[in-house]
Structure 1
Amino acid sequence: MSEAPDPSSVRLPGDWEHLDVRANGVRFHAVEPAGVPAGDRPLVLLLHGFGEFWWSWRHQLTALTEAGFRAVAVDLRGYGDTDKPPRGYDGWTLAGDTNGLVRALGHTSATLIGHSDGGLVCWATATLHPRVVDRIVVVASPHPRALRRRALRDRAQREQFLNLFLRNQIPRVGERQVTRDDAAFIADYFAQRSSSSWRSGPDYAQTVELNRSAMLIPYVAHCSLEYRRWAFRSQFRPDGLRFMELMDQRLHLPVLALRGRDDPYILSDAIADGRRWAAHQTYRQIEGSGHFVHQEQPAAVTEAILEFLRTEPEATNDVATEKARRIRPARTSWYSPARFVARIRRSRRAPDGR
């Protein structure tokens, strides 16, 4: 590509309309099917993952709308045609973004659906802003505490997950790696984590081309890496310690966790461990798909989502719910940066990764 694409290049033509929504001090680019009045339709907010933009939810946008929901997909902070501020890629602010988006779209609550990093935003919003979240669907996105636990204890999960995080911690080096050769990194990222059946079709080629172009939009590479830099570096800082303490509470809203059975990046145990923090988690694996299951097997994923949305939530004792949602007092004795580093070193020496 001779020059960097304009942010408006992600405003792709189709049977949808593009919106500018202001929330939490940021202008967000949002997309919803055209010609469908919001009315009293329940809001479903779709949040994409690393290296993508709103386009990853193209299949679910239409299907959810036809099923009677108001489906809105957004470019997350720092992506696509959304503003790209230099700060705000921490769990607190990202949860605040989603909370603000729900209200800015004219709703008091919503179902959140997120893939990868977008799923982590779903977990954070449901914990920090429970009043605006009806239920969540997380795709290839374990609970943050479950993911950290598995990255420390499970060698297979650590090798898939932690290495990429570490390579991108050095400023500018990560950006150059991601954008080199017209964002060839994105092509490799999709090829290594998707199923062979999807890679052989025209939808895959178009998806990779669009995501490579979106990554070359000025500042997107830096902003997208800031998500992962905060996730790692915060483990050694008081703000990360406090965030993880707040996440250590059990949600009592319905949770659907989806994973492609052949996903080599996020392993099954990390997803299943989420039950410890979600009292009503349903876990399903989709056959014939990898990390991008919502694009590889869109019909199966949409069917699972609609079945979940149409199921009445289990009755929960209000007192128990409020008690579980209450912020726990700070605990400082169980965790410290030194102990975190020591556990990584011990796990690397142990033959079974424990």
Structure 2
Amino acid sequence: MPVDPAFVEIEGPWEHRYVAANGARFHVATLGDGPLVMMLHGFPQFWYTWRHQMTALASCGYRVAAMDLRGYGGSDKPPRGYDTYMSTLDTASVIRALGESSGVVLGQGLGGWVAWCMPVFRQDVTRAVASLSMAHPRVMRHATWTVRRQREASGWILDLQKPFKAERAMNRSHAYVEGLLTRWSSPFSSYPSPDDVARYGDAMMIPFVAHSAAEHYRWLGRSAIRPDGPMFMRRIRRPIQVPVLQVQGTDDGCVLADATTGSGAYVPRDYRYAAVEGAGHFLTEEAPHAVSRILIDWLDSL
């Protein structure tokens, strides 16, 4: 059954806001005062995946803003605009709509892909980036093409290219989302719990979310055989001139740690890498305290 978009307005110490940016309306949860830290979630989740880090960073003097990406949660779900260029523009526009001229961008999964691209496409608003559970886009592409294990782990993206199949599965039950949460998390963790499955399964049942979420990845598939895909890969190879932190779970079942090395080659200056032992793809929830500590130590050093 369809779920009301207001479902994402989960109570807590944060404030829920709806901001107009880049021709759309975005749901953003904000907390704290200080330098802005913008948080971008991954698939198949929404802003709530950052809840532990929100409270931890806010208590250390940062203003945190966790947004629902275009097409997810309480944000608008227009029929178009799911390419990475638009995602970076959305993020930059939300930063400005919050009254800030720049911020540090943190991303997990899909949000990590966008975070890697921010210093190249929106350098004017990007002070630094941290990518969780996502290698540099060119590293990811190379690994998917050349490493059989990573190609198999990325097979779900190919499955998403089939019209309506994934949408129907996500709208029918929680089984599709449960499968992703289980396969990508560490086999040694207690994640996902039944509550996790219900929360993110329901979030995918918000009208149009399943389709919009798939469209982000369909652009990756379609653009590979069009001029915009190779052009994107050429542009993204530019050296990143802001500090970068990459955090990777050793048991990630989606982005394999040993198959996706080498992202530091695109960061000639301040690049740091942190491995979280015994954690999978959903670092913010599988290892919340360790991840919060890594992020705070890095942010304090900027």
TM-score by length of 2: 0.96
Partner Cα distance (2:251, 2:196) in 1: 19
Match of 1:262 in 2: 251
78, 85, 97: which is aligned to 1:85? Answer: 78
The structure-2 alpha-carbon separation of the partners of 1:271 and 1:135, relative to structure 1 and needing over 3 Å to count, comes to farther
- Tell me which structure has the larger Cα radius of gyration: 1
Which of 215, 222, 237 aligns to 2:211? It is 222
* Match in the other structure for 1:172: 164
Is 1:135 the equivalent of 2:125? no
Q: Any idea what the Cα deviations from partners look like across 1:147-199, whole Å, max 9, x if unmatched? A: 001111111111111x111111121122113333x231111111111124532
Specify which of 180, 183, 193 is matched with residue 174 of structure 2.
183
Which residue pairs with 1:160 in the alignment?
153
27, 30, 40: which one aligns with 2:28: 30
- What SS is found at the alignment partner of 1:111? strand
Matched, 1:238 2:227: yes
Q: 1:57 aligns to what SS in structure 2?
A: helix
User: Structure 1 residues 166, 198: CA separation in 2 closer, same or farther (over 3 Å shift)?
Assistant: same
Q: Which amino acid is 2:220 matched to? A: A
Alignment of 1:319-330 (within 5 A): none
Cα RMSD after superposing both structures: 1.4
Name the CA distance, whole Å, in 2 between partners of 1:247 and 1:269.
22
In structure 2, give the amino acid aligned to 1:110: G
CA distance in structure 2 between the aligned counterparts of 1:89 and 1:170, rounded to whole angstroms? 16
Residue 193 (str. 1) matches residue 181 (str. 2): no
Q: Tell me, what secondary structure is at the counterpart of 1:198?
A: coil
Contact 1:146 1:270 in 2 (8 A): no
Question: Is 1:15–2:13 an aligned residue pair?
Answer: yes
Q: Which residue of 1 aligns with 2:118?
A: 125
Aligned residues: 301
Q: Does 1:53 align with 2:46?
A: yes
Equivalent residue letter for 1:54: W
CA contact (8 A) 2:143 2:260 kept: no
**Structure 2 residue 278 is matched with structure 1 residue 288:** yes
Moved over 6 A (4+): none
Which runs of no fewer than 5 residues in structure 2 stay unpaired? none
2:44 partner SS: coil
Distance in 1, Cα, partners of 2:94 & 2:283: 25
C-alpha deviation, 1:271, in angstroms: 4.2
Question: 2: CA distance between counterparts of 1:294 and 1:15?
Answer: 18
Q: Which residue does the alignment assign to 1:42?
A: 35
Q: 1:226 offset after TM fit, Å?
A: 0.3
Query: Structure 1: how far apart are the matches of 2:167 and 2:300?
Result: 42
1:53–1:75: 8 Å Cα contact kept in structure 2?
Answer: yes
Partner of 2:4: 6
Kept in 1: contact 2:174–2:198 (CA 8 A): no
Identity over aligned pairs, percent: 39
TM-score (norm 1): 0.82
1:210 partnered with 2:199 = yes
User: Are 1:97 and 2:125 counterparts?
Assistant: no
Query: For residues 269 and 143 of structure 1, what CA distance do their matches in structure 2 show?
Result: 14
Q: Quote how far apart the aligned CAs of 1:112 are.
A: 0.4
Specify whether residues 250 and 310 from structure 1 end up closer, same or farther in structure 2 by C-alpha distance, changes over 3 A only: same
> What's the offset of the Cα at 1:54?
0.6
Deviations 1:3-31 (A, max 9, x none): 31100111111222100011111100000
Q: CA deviation at 1:272?
A: 2.6
Q: Measure the CA separation in 1 of the matches of 2:198 and 2:170.
A: 14
1:200-244 Cα distance to aligned partner (Å, 9 max, x none): 6xx733222110000000100000000110011101111112111
